[in-house]
């Protein structure tokens, strides 16, 4: 009288869920998980001339980590990423707060629209425009010398600062949106309750708004920090190739030098460093991420 | 007027956001060959040069083929994943969804390099097709994020009601689910299209001899002579993306008006 | 008001030992019951008791772990929801927001072979049935809560189901419209003669509307009876507590025979109850007697009790307009009992602290043991 086991299975929610997710999952396994696995495997292989020798070795890691250039590049990459993340998030928070708390409800989408438009225009050209702005004979120097504020144009390009400003610009919406979303979720009566219980506006912000917005801030930090460390274009264009980051080094080894095992080891190493920093950061903020959802 | 300080900061921030973009048309119409102030005079020469550039035409065609394919495939894969994540509970779901969404935070260079190794390893020649493979991977998480919102705002009992009234699972999807998530699907396709059109690193590694719009732009940026033309190209791209975004926003609002749903925010 | 369903009506729905697990969670623990044809049947219980799950096993949205659900004598285990002779009114009404009212109501007729003119007429008739004549061309999402419910009803009824399932249909409506819809639903059910199965957590709603009610707790049916039996003869303290208000006083059984049980109840004194006053389910705890607030009467100056009376002090007065509730501390009892008095003209509302007498009758008691 009752249904067969096969029919039971077919009707079960888990089975249907797996069937539904399978096309995307298979794609992700083939195109992402397997290649990532390959990179890890390659990083333990030996590099022969024009080919890769499938022999297990730690040689690549030893070579990478004892290389002062790699150390310097990795250090610079982490430093730039942290700086970019700090600048981006610190600038983004007041904007997200402004849109969520000050802008009237019917104008919020317009503001979000305004914030996201620059993000939808060519990344390469946006990065290059910062070169135009920061150049020796660029926009800022033209204004400064034109107004007589400086005699000599300032040398701003090819610096960590220039790279930071450019990346902070590129990742702005990625930081604003998660913070905005978590600010929007805050029940406004919490703030009234804070005020009602005798807190000043600043203390209400400090004790109520900020902790409740932290999941968004943490999300913003993650979504800016992790991809930034792998940015290739900005060091190339704004750093003038003189301040390479890990992505440039990976590209060098993979294409120009054609040492794929070493390139893989560098890629895996930098991903591990990023992962460790991200996990430490998440761990430090764990108390904000608990609770419902 | 509330919070004048914040308001001032917000406008300063907008200037920061828009400065690079506002400069584009200024130099695109400037007759000087060097990108610097003071401006020389008005010219349409750079646009002329732009539209008669055969390599650029080829790059644009390639990029459009890649972007349209990416939009379709990423959205299709996105529909499956968003549907699974909003409708079904199954063991291992956070891990599975985590893997699928990973390209959202993974630096693109890692995606590009690992795919390159596999493709070279199994002997797939690099072409537009391999770029599409990479772009679909990178755009799918964005598609899922958009589609998740569309699917989760869909009341489950609407589908049950249609099924209860005699429709099959497929006709329920066609008659109820699809029309109601259509604005989400349109948004998802536009987003995947734009991401693909703009993506540089993956195309740089996987396109082989083929040229796409971003790889072409990148190759030209080292020649000062070509910069004014790139400014003209940038101007066209900005206009195109504003038009596209406005259409997307309009479609979204119309979708909301049609079903009487609450406006829950912007395009992203 | 209640029309008793003739017990010889044929069975429409039969649950046979229905079990449902969600992983380790035991949602339905062996439900066996019958719902008769043409009956207005309610599943009543607190949230999480399994009532909605049970309803959804009838509709076919929930597969069962073991047992069987039969509709009109046919086992439904291999019949999917879209092939069952049931239709459902959802808690959220599930009105398709992208369609008009008429398209919503006519949704189920898509596979109907009739001509489109005939279908349009059927839609118009269904709308008329629920009092929405002429609303067809309107956008469904622009309708109010009460109107949406009517659309949902018309949409479910147009397919002439053998069973109409209603999942908390009134919970989203405000009080006035809810009461109006309750009356209309009863009328509609009588008119159509279709079996209605209603899920509700509102005991008053269940009492008002149903021919029979199944009270559910923790995935089991605690009691299945008509409203009057449920109210007067609850088979457990839990059911008694869930339906209406009941006062409980500890009791001591002093003697027991086939014809009566003798009790000693502090505050009321020695008394006897008949076996039909003893609740069917024994909980194993101490014996208690229960009585409804309206079975006690406050005696005013000069009045005498027709049966028995007990002295006490008014502890609390709650004025409801048509009624007044008195919490009274009977002499020798620490916990107050609640009495409800109708505020008939000329009857004063008494003050807290007044010494009063209460009239009561052993015949109105229920003994739980």
Task: Spell out the domains of chain A, with CATH numbers in brackets.
Answer: 62-289 (1.10.3720.10)
Retrieve residue B21's tokens.
């973009």
Contact list, B2 vs chain A (CB under 8 Å): 102
Give the per-residue pLDDT at B75: 96
Chains touching chain A at 3 or more Cβ pairs under 8 angstroms?
B, C
B173 found inside a domain: yes
Question: Which residue stretches of chain B have pLDDT < 50?
Answer: 1, 264-268
Retrieve residue C237's tokens.
């303290």
| Å between B262 CA and nearest CA of chain C | 11
Q: Which of C221, C239, C257 is the last residue of a domain?
A: C239
| Å between A85 CA and nearest CA of chain B | 14
What mean pLDDT is predicted for residues A206-226?
88
What mean pLDDT is predicted for residues C33-48?
94
Could you list the beta-strand ranges (E) of chain B: none
**C164 and C273: one domain?**
no
Sign of CA dihedral A123, A125, A127, A130: negative
- Strands in C355-360's sheet, in edge-to-edge order, are C297-299, C355-360, C308-319, C323-330, C337-342
pLDDT value at A188 more than 70: yes
CATH number for the domain harbouring residue C227: 3.40.50.300
Give the per-residue pLDDT at B266: 43
d(CA A51, CA B51): 43
**C200 and C288: one domain?**
no
- Contact call for residues A158 and A240 (beta carbons, < 8 A): yes
Retrieve residue C185's tokens.
């639903």
Retrieve residue C344's tokens.
């008939």
Q: Which residues of A24-39 are buried (b: 16+ CB within 10 A; e: fewer)?
A: bbebbbebbeebbebb
d(CA C216, CA C46): 8
Retrieve residue B34's tokens.
């060097």
Sign of CA dihedral B115, B120, B124, B130: positive
A199 vs C317, higher pLDDT: C317
What mean pLDDT is predicted for residues C104-117?
90
Contact at CB, C63 and A8, closer than 8 angstroms: yes
What mean pLDDT is predicted for residues A260-281?
89
Listed in sequence order, the residues at least 6 apart from A190 whose beta carbon sits closer than 8 Å to its beta carbon are A208, A212
Helix (H, G, I), strand (E, B) or coil at C17: strand
d(CA A129, CA B24): 8
Helix (H, G, I), strand (E, B) or coil at C160: coil
d(CA A247, CA B202): 12
Name the range with the highest mean pLDDT among A10-19, A254-263, B186-195.
B186-195
- Contact call for residues A42 and A36 (beta carbons, < 8 A): no
HSE-up (13 A, CA, CB side) for residue A178 = 18
Contact at CB, B9 and A25, closer than 8 angstroms: no
DSSP C79: -
Work out the pLDDT band at C2, boundaries 50, 70, 90: very low
Helix (H, G, I), strand (E, B) or coil at B184: helix
B34 found inside a domain: no
Q: Enumerate the H helices of chain C as residue ranges.
A: 51-59, 101-105, 116-129, 145-157, 175-192, 203-209, 227-232, 237-242
What are the backbone dihedrals phi and psi of residue B205, each rounded to the nearest 5 degrees, phi first? -85, -35
**C215 and C352: one domain?**
no
**C204 and C252: one domain?**
no
Choice among A198-212, B176-190, C151-165 with the minimum mean pLDDT: A198-212
The alpha carbon torsion through A70, A241, A86, A110 (nearest 10 deg) reads: -140
Domain that holds residue B214: 43-259
Give the per-residue pLDDT at A47: 78
Helix (H, G, I), strand (E, B) or coil at C183: helix
Contact at CB, B166 and C111, closer than 8 angstroms: yes
HSE-up (13 A, CA, CB side) for residue C308 = 14
**C228 and C310: one domain?**
no
Determine whether B184 is exposed, middle or buried from the number of CB atoms within 10 Å of its CB (0-12, 13-18, 19+).
buried
Q: What is the DSSP string of C285-306?
A: S--EEEE-GGGSEEEPTT---S
Give the per-residue pLDDT at B267: 41
d(CA C87, CA C156): 5
C5 found inside a domain: no
Q: Which of C239, C261, C289 is the last residue of a domain?
A: C239
pLDDT value at A10 more than 80: no
Contact at CB, C107 and B162, closer than 8 angstroms: yes
Listed in sequence order, the residues at least 6 apart from B70 whose beta carbon sits closer than 8 Å to its beta carbon are B132, B135, B136, B139, B192, B193, B195, B196
Tell which residue, C292, C334, C342, has the closest CA to residue C315: C334
What mean pLDDT is predicted for residues A239-246?
82
**C69 and C209: one domain?**
yes
C344 found inside a domain: yes
B238 found inside a domain: yes
pLDDT value at A114 more than 50: yes
Total tally of structural domains belonging to chain C? 2
Helix axes A123-134, A139-146, angle to 10 degrees: 20
Give the per-residue pLDDT at B260: 61
Q: How far is CA B79 from the centre of its chain?
A: 16
Helix (H, G, I), strand (E, B) or coil at C265: strand
Helix axes B93-101, B128-152, angle to 10 degrees: 130
| C113 in contact with B, Cβ within 8 Å | no
| Å between C294 CA and nearest CA of chain A | 43
d(CA C366, CA C369): 10
Tell which residue, C103, C109, C26, C110, has the closest CA to residue C67: C26
CATH number for the domain harbouring residue B244: 1.10.3720.10
Retrieve residue B234's tokens.
């940038």
| Å between B62 CA and nearest CA of chain C | 38
| C59 in contact with B, Cβ within 8 Å | yes
Q: What is the largest CA-CA distance in chain A?
A: 94
Domain that holds residue C296: 245-368
d(CA B7, CA A107): 14
Contact list, B180 vs chain C (CB under 8 Å): 97-98
CATH number for the domain harbouring residue C297: 2.40.50.140
| Å between C250 CA and nearest CA of chain B | 47
d(CA B70, CA B184): 16
B38 found inside a domain: no
Listed in sequence order, the residues at least 6 apart from B174 whose beta carbon sits closer than 8 Å to its beta carbon are none
Helix (H, G, I), strand (E, B) or coil at A216: helix
Q: Which residues of A186-223 are buried (b: 16+ CB within 10 A; e: fewer)?
A: beeeebeebeeeebeeeebbeebbeebbbbbbbbbbbb
Contact list, C75 vs chain A (CB under 8 Å): 1
Sign of CA dihedral B151, B157, B163, B167: negative
Q: Which of B86, B109, B214 to mutate to test the interface with A (most CBs of A within 10 A)?
A: B109
pLDDT value at A293 more than 60: no
Contact list, B168 vs chain C (CB under 8 Å): 82
- Contact call for residues A235 and A241 (beta carbons, < 8 A): yes
A–B CB contacts, 8 A cutoff, strictly below: 256
Give the per-residue pLDDT at B120: 87
**C156 and C212: one domain?**
yes
If you count DSSP H runs as helices and E runs as strands, how many of each does chain A have, helices first?
A: 17, 2
**C160 and C182: one domain?**
yes
B260 vs A14, higher pLDDT: A14
pLDDT value at C7 more than 70: no
Contact at CB, C87 and B260, closer than 8 angstroms: no
Give the per-residue pLDDT at A260: 85
Q: Are strands C11-22 and C86-89 parallel, antiparallel or unpaired?
A: unpaired
Total tally of structural domains belonging to chain B? 1
C3 found inside a domain: no
d(CA B135, CA B194): 11
Give the per-residue pLDDT at A50: 67
Work out the pLDDT band at A8, boundaries 50, 70, 90: low
**C40 and C142: one domain?**
yes
C2 found inside a domain: no
User: What would the pLDDT profile of C306-320 be if each residue is shown by its tens digit?
Assistant: 888 899 999 999 999
What are the backbone dihedrals phi and psi of residue C114, each rounded to the nearest 5 degrees, phi first? -65, 160
User: What would the pLDDT profile of A266-276 be if each residue is shown by its tens digit?
Assistant: 999 988 998 89
Helix (H, G, I), strand (E, B) or coil at C225: strand
What are the backbone dihedrals phi and psi of residue C173, each rounded to the nearest 5 degrees, phi first? -100, 150
Retrieve residue B235's tokens.
């101007």
C300 found inside a domain: yes
Q: What would you report as the CA-atom Rg of chain C, rounded to the nearest whole angstrom?
A: 25
**C51 and C137: one domain?**
yes
User: What would the pLDDT profile of C312-365 be if each residue is shown by its tens digit?
Assistant: 999 999 999 899 999 999 998 888 999 999 988 888 888 899 999 999 888 889
**C217 and C298: one domain?**
no
B35 found inside a domain: no
A240 vs C73, higher pLDDT: C73
Determine whether B38 is exposed, middle or buried from the number of CB atoms within 10 Å of its CB (0-12, 13-18, 19+).
exposed
Helix (H, G, I), strand (E, B) or coil at B46: helix
Q: Which of C195, C213, C239 is the last residue of a domain?
A: C239
B–C CB contacts, 8 A cutoff, strictly below: 66
Work out the pLDDT band at C1, boundaries 50, 70, 90: very low
- Contact call for residues A137 and A245 (beta carbons, < 8 A): no
d(CA A135, CA B37): 11
C351 found inside a domain: yes
**C51 and C142: one domain?**
yes
Give the per-residue pLDDT at A292: 45
DSSP A45: S
Give the per-residue pLDDT at B56: 92
Determine whether C160 is exposed, middle or buried from the number of CB atoms within 10 Å of its CB (0-12, 13-18, 19+).
middle
C1 found inside a domain: no
- Contact call for residues C98 and B258 (beta carbons, < 8 A): yes
Contact list, A3 vs chain C (CB under 8 Å): 63, 77-78
| Percent of chain C at pLDDT exceeding 70 | 97
């Amino acid at each position: 009288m009752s249904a067969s086991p096969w029919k039971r299975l077919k009707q079960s929610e888990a089975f249907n869920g797996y069937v539904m997710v399978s096309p995307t999952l298979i794609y992700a396994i083939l195109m992402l998980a397997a290649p990532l696995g390959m990179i890890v495997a390659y990083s333990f292989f030996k590099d022969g001339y024009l080919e890769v020798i499938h022999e297990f070795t730690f040689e690549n890691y030893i070579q990478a980590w004892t290389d002062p250039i790699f150390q310097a590049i990795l250090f610079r990459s982490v430093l730039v990423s942290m700086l970019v993340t700090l600048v981006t998030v610190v600038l983004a928070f007041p904007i997200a707060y402004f849109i969520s708390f000050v802008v009237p409800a019917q104008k919020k989408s317009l503001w979000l629209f305004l914030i996201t438009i620059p993000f939808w225009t060519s990344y390469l050209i946006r990065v290059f425009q910062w070169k135009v702005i920061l150049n020796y004979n660029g926009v800022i120097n033209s204004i400064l010398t034109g107004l007589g504020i400086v005699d000599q144009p300032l040398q701003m390009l090819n610096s960590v600062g220039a790279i930071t400003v450019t990346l902070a610009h590129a990742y702005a919406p990625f930081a604003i949106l998660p913070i905005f979303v978590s600010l929007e979720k805050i029940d406004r009566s919490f703030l009234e309750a804070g005020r009602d219980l005798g807190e000043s506006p600043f203390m209400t912000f400090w004790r109520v708004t900020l902790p409740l917005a932290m999941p968004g801030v943490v999300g913003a930090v993650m979504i800016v920090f992790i991809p930034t460390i792998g940015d290739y274009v900005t060091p190339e264009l704004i750093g003038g190739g003189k301040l390479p980051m890990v992505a440039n080094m990976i590209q060098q080894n993979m294409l120009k030098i054609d040492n794929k095992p070493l390139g893989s080891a560098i890629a895996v190493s930098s991903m591990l460093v990023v992962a460790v920093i991200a996990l430490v950061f998440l761990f430090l903020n764990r108390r904000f991420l608990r609770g419902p959802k | 007027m509330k919070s004048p300080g914040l308001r001032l900061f917000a406008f300063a921030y907008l200037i920061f956001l828009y400065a690079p973009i506002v400069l584009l048309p200024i130099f695109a119409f400037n007759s000087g060959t060097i990108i610097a102030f003071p401006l020389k005079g008005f010219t349409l020469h750079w646009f002329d040069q732009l539209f008669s550039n055969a390599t650029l035409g080829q790059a644009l065609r390639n990029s459009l083929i890649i972007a349209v394919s990416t939009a379709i495939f990423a959205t299709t894969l996105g529909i499956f994943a968003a549907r699974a994540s909003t409708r079904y509970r199954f063991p291992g779901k956070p891990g599975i969804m985590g893997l699928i969404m990973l390209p959202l935070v993974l630096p693109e260079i890692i995606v590009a390099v690992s795919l390159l190794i596999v493709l070279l390893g199994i002997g797939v020649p690099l072409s537009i097709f391999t770029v599409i493979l990479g772009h679909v991977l990178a755009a799918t998480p964005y598609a899922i994020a958009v589609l998740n919102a569309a699917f989760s705002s869909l009341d489950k009992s609407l589908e049950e009601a249609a099924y209860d009234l005699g429709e099959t699972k497929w006709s329920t999807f066609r008659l109820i689910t699809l029309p109601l998530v259509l604005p989400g699907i349109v948004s998802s396709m536009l987003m995947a299209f734009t991401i693909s059109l703009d993506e540089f690193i993956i195309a740089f590694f996987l396109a082989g001899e083929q040229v796409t719009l971003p790889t072409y732009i990148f190759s030209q940026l080292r020649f000062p002579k070509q910069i004014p033309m790139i400014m003209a190209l940038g101007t066209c791209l900005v206009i195109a993306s504003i038009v596209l975004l406005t259409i997307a926003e309009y479609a979204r609002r119309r979708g909301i008006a049609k079903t009487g749903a609450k406006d829950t925010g912007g395009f992203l | 008001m209640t029309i008793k369903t003739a017990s010889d009506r044929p069975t429409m729905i039969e649950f046979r030992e229905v079990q449902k697990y969600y992983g380790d969670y035991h949602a339905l623990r062996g439900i066996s019951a019958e719902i008769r044809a043409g009956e207005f049947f309610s599943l009543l219980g607190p949230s999480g008791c399994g009532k909605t799950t049970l309803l959804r096993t009838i509709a076919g949205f929930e597969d069962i772990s073991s047992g069987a659900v039969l509709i009109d004598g046919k086992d439904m285990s291999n019949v999917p929801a879209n092939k069952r002779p049931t239709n459902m009114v959802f808690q959220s009404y599930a009105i398709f927001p992208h369609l008009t009212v008429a398209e919503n109501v006519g949704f189920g007729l898509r596979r109907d072979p009739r001509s489109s003119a005939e279908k349009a007429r059927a839609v118009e008739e269904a709308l008329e049935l629920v009092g929405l004549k002429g609303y067809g061309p309107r956008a469904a999402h622009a309708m109010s809560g009460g109107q949406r419910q009517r659309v949902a009803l018309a949409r479910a009824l147009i397919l002439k189901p053998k069973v109409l399932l209603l999942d908390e249909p009134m919970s989203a409506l405000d009080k006035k419209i809810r009461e109006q819809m309750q009356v209309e639903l009863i009328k509609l059910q009588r008119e159509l003669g279709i079996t209605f199965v209603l899920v509700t957590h509102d005991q008053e709603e269940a009492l008002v509307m149903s021919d029979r009610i199944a009270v559910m707790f923790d995935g089991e049916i605690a009691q299945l009876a008509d409203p009057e039996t449920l109210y007067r003869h609850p088979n457990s303290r839990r059911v008694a507590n869930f339906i209406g208000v009941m006062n409980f006083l500890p009791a001591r059984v002093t003697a027991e025979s086939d014809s009566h049980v003798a009790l000693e109840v502090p505050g009321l004194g020695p008394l006897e109850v008949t076996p039909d006053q003893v609740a069917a389910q024994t909980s194993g705890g101490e014996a208690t007697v229960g009585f409804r607030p309206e079975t006690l009467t406050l005696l005013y100056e000069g009045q005498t009790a027709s049966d028995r009376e007990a002295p006490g002090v008014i502890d609390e007065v709650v004025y409801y307009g048509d009624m007044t509730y008195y919490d009274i501390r009977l002499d020798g009892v620490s916990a107050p009992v609640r009495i409800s008095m109708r505020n008939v003209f000329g009857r004063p509302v008494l003050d807290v602290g007044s010494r009063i007498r209460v009239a009561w009758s052993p015949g109105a008691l229920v003994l739980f043991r």
